[in-house]
């Protein structure tokens, strides 16, 4: 078998059904071998950066490693997506083809040291130099991507090696690493028992669930633990979906990207904070102020990565292990019939949270639904939530298209339904991520919420959307500006003029139609309901341009922006 065939055969044995990428001269030997693998779907992207973001969406929704590929000339374009995956602990396999390695110093076109560039943004960069090594290195890639703290792994395939014949005797996959988490571990029993005692003593405890809770699939264990100990549950933006946001103990999102005065007030009152799968980064904690780093609450931190334990908060107890396994161990170590303070106050606490949540939403709704034009994003989200099928995957771009749904769009079921990229926050994520997610879960529509600034980074993927016919409903918030930067400048610096944020008028609907995707525009609040209905009633892809207020005219409840909101 040729090396390229060996790699594709290994992908098949790992259950890979979709690879995202695009061609180049160095990929031709790989594509020639691909003819023998018609069941291994290849989705052509229009940019390598987008192909990695497609793999993001696939991985986040499926729980399996997302796989992307690119030619040597495109390998540098993959860096933003791989860096996001590394910071976000997302399992990816990135296969790049290359020139013959001995030609690199001869200045052969497209040649450069891929390993030196990509090693800093992946868990490991692996170069295949002979056919017999390919099965071993593919197994290593999947094992690294799915185990411990998940992340991206780079496979480098020189084009001359791709065409070499070999006879490996180890064509097998390690089934444990086909999905993420690959191998689970729980915290030590003594630490688990100590955590149970802290939870029992708490009467105002709060769980802060991060993306690790969702990656682990820990939503059922998290719900049971919250109910047993009467713990309120907030999530970071990446952890949205760890608990159904209609649950009586749900606070919604906390931190600077979707947190609210309601969720933060409950955090401020907590006598115990339990971080579950949260990196305690600046966005998820509003710059380490919610909760405060030196607050009164005792702190438990559960994480699969030893590097994150105590990284930003001085915890009273560390739990090193997989979120689902460790939460299950906490449940086994506690008595559901025991009447501890949290359990005794649970019913009263649920009632109090319901009243405070209702008051917050009512107060915001009163100011958030003006009629006319441009449309307030809150008004659009009301219509979207009304029509959104339960369990729909939603991908979001940074800015207004992420913060408003993070704050106000309540997920009615737990799971892998909300896909964001706030480990780094690069623009141009939502559309390619939605394409990847739609191939991972083809049963229903996928919703992408993007801004006109973000669409400028990935407009070519509208052609991919039209060509594949993926049932992605792309809503583009059009306010003619890099709105988040504009609003941050106006609020934080108080200057009336903002440099380099305003676009010339663009008809995004016609752009979409030029790529073969039907489109319509929402110009006023009165158009919202009928347009949202039409988008979901029409099968296949659809682009809906929503003419919205710019951020400084509809500031979301971001910590530090309160003074500008009056």
Instruction: Give the relative orientation of helices 261-269 and 346-368 as an angle to the nearest 10 degrees.
Output: 150
Which residue in 96, 83, 77 sits closest to 7, CA to CA? 96
β-bridge pairing 124-127 and 542-547: unpaired
Helix, strand and coil content of the chain, in percent to the nearest 5, comes to 45, 15, 40
pLDDT (0 to 100) of residue 368: 52
Instruction: Report the pLDDT value the prediction gives residue 301, as an integer from 0 to 100.
Output: 98
pLDDT of residue 280: 97
pTM over 0.85: yes
What was the pLDDT predicted at 120?
96
pLDDT along the chain (566 residues), means of 10: 98 98 97 97 98 98 98 98 98 98 92 96 98 98 98 98 97 98 97 97 96 98 96 98 96 95 95 97 96 95 97 97 98 88 76 87 63 91 94 96 94 96 96 98 92 97 98 97 88 75 95 98 96 96 96 84 65
Please give the pLDDT value at position 497: 67
> Do residues 464 and 20 touch, judged by C-beta distance below 8 A?
no
pLDDT at 367: 56
Nearest to 261 by CA among 295, 227, 286, 224: 286
Q: How far apart are CA 468 and CA 464, in angstroms?
A: 6
- Both tokens of residue 507? 């008809």
Q: Give, in degrees to the nearest 5, the angle at Cα 113 between 111 and 118.
A: 120
pLDDT for the residue 237: 97
Strands 205-209 and 272-276, bridge-based pairing: parallel
Whether residue 408 contacts residue 379, with contact meaning beta carbons closer than 8 Å, is answered with no
The reported pLDDT for the residue numbered 230 is 94
Region at 217 (left for phi over 0; alpha for psi -120 to 50; beta for the rest): left
């Amino acid at each position: 078998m040729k090396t390229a065939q060996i790699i594709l055969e290994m992908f098949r044995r790992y259950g890979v059904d979709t690879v995202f990428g695009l061609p180049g001269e160095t990929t031709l030997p790989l594509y020639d071998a691909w003819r023998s693998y018609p069941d291994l779907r290849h989705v052509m992207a229009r940019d390598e950066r987008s192909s990695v973001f497609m793999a993001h969406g696939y991985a986040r929704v499926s729980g399996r490693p997302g796989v992307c590929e690119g030619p040597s000339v495109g390998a540098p374009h993959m860096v933003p997506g791989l860096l996001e995956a590394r910071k976000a602990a997302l399992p990816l396999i990135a296969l790049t083809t290359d020139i013959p390695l001995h030609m690199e110093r001869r200045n052969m076109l497209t040649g450069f040291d891929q390993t030196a560039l990509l090693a800093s943004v992946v868990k490991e960069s692996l170069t295949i130099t002979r056919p017999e090594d390919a099965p071993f290195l593919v197994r290593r890639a999947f094992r690294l991507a799915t185990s411990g703290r998940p992340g991206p792994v780079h496979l480098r395939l020189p084009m001359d090696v791709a065409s070499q014949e070999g006879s490996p005797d180890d064509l097998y996959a390690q089934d444990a690493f086909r999905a993420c988490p690959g191998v689970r571990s729980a915290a030590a029993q003594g630490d688990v028992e100590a955590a149970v005692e802290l939870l029992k003593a708490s009467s105002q405890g709060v769980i802060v669930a991060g993306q690790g809770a969702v990656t682990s699939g820990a939503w059922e264990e998290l719900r049971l633990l919250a109910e047993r100990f009467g713990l309120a549950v907030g999530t970071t933006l990446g952890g949205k979906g760890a608990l159904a946001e209609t649950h009586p103990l749900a606070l919604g999102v906390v931190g600077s990207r979707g947190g609210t005065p309601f969720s933060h007030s409950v955090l401020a009152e907590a006598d115990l904070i339990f971080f579950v799968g949260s990196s305690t980064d600046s966005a998820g904690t509003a710059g380490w102020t919610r909760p405060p780093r030196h607050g009164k609450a005792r702190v438990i931190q559960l994480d699969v990565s030893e590097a994150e334990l105590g990284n930003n908060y001085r915890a009273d107890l560390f739990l090193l292990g997989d979120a689902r396994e460790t939460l299950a161990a906490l449940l086994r170590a506690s008595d559901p019939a025991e009447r501890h303070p949290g359990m005794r106050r649970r019913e009263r606490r649920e009632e109090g949270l319901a009243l405070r949540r209702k008051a917050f939403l009512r107060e915001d709704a009163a100011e958030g639904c003006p009629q006319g034009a441009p449309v307030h994003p809150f008004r659009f989200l009301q219509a979207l939530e009304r029509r959104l099928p339960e369990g729909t995957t939603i991908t979001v771009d940074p800015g207004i298209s992420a913060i408003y749904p993070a704050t106000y769009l309540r997920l009615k079921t737990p799971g892998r339904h909300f896909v964001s990229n706030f480990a780094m926050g690069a623009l141009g994520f939502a559309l390619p991520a939605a394409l990847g997610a739609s191939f991972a879960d083809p049963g229903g529509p996928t919703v992408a919420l993007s801004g006109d600034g973000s669409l400028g980074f990935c407009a070519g993927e509208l052609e991919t959307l039209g060509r594949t016919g993926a049932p992605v409903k792309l809503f583009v918030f059009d306010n003619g500006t890099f709105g988040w930067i504009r609003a941050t400048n106006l609020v934080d610096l108080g200057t009336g003029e903002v440099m380099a944020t305003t676009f010339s008028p663009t008809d995004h609907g016609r752009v979409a139609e030029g790529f073969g995707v039907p489109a319509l525009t929402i110009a006023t609040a009165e158009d919202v309901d009928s347009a949202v209905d039409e988008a979901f009633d029409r099968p296949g892809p659809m682009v809906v341009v929503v003419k919205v207020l710019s951020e400084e005219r509809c500031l979301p409840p971001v910590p530090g922006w309160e003074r500008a909101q009056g």
